[in-house]
Structure 1
Amino acid sequence: MNLVVAVCALTLTAAALMALLRIAKGPTMLDRVVALDVLVAVVVIALCVEAAANRHATTLPAIVVLALLGFVGSVSVARYAAKEERE
């Protein structure tokens, strides 16, 4: 079990670093928003791995709130970008 958690942590760390690089470097606002959405997803998955490894569900409300914030934020920016393109 510890090996699986370590592999998950290593993979999630690499994904988070690549997302942070895209946030810092991304040429457009939409690239940065997608990278931020990926970063939020990585944090949600990391919380899920932690909850599964420790066999508890106390982080479930935080997971749900973060997932909802990521979704609403992405949809809001997409609507803003679509409105900007029409003008």
Structure 2
Amino acid sequence: MLDTVVLICLGIISLAMVLTFVRLVRGPDLPDRILALDTLYINAIALIMLLGLYLDSNLFFEAALLIAVMGFVSTVAIAKHLLRGNIIE
């Protein structure tokens, strides 16, 4: 039963990733693209966590944690670049 639910959720998250990638490519301006990139890495974390549940492996959870940290740092760096034009002061 849980395997079926995880597979359905994998399909839904995959669809969300495709739609977010379309928004990333077609975004009308830069803030929309940055928001789409942020959403894309959050969806990637969810996809990796679901794969970890489905395959019963702890390695996927560590990879999701690394992606979360890298995504947060990259979002902060891009936001600082948009506000000030400089990342490192």
TM-score (norm 2): 0.84
Contact 2:14 2:47 in 1 (8 A): no
Structure 2 counterpart of 1:6, one-letter code: L
For the residues of structure 2 that align with 1:71 and 1:22, how far apart are their CA atoms? Answer: 20
Q: TM-score, normalised by structure 1?
A: 0.86
Task: Structure 1: give runs of 5+ residues left out of the alignment.
Answer: none
1:1-87 matched pairs, under 5 angstroms = 1-84=2-85
Question: 2-side partners of 1:59 and 1:49: how far apart?
Answer: 9
Answer 1 or 2: higher relative contact order, Cα 8 Å, separation at least 6. 1
Provide, for residues 44-68 of structure 1, a one-character-per-residue CA deviation record: whole Å limited to 9, x for no partner: 1111011112222112321111111
Q: CA deviation at 1:76?
A: 0.8
RMSD: 1.3
Counting aligned pairs with the same residue, the percent is 24
CA displacement 1:22-73 (0-9 Å, x = unmatched):
1110011111111111111111111101111222211232111111111111
Shift >4 Å, 4+ stretches: none
Number of paired residues?
A: 84
Any unmatched runs of 5+ in structure 2?
none
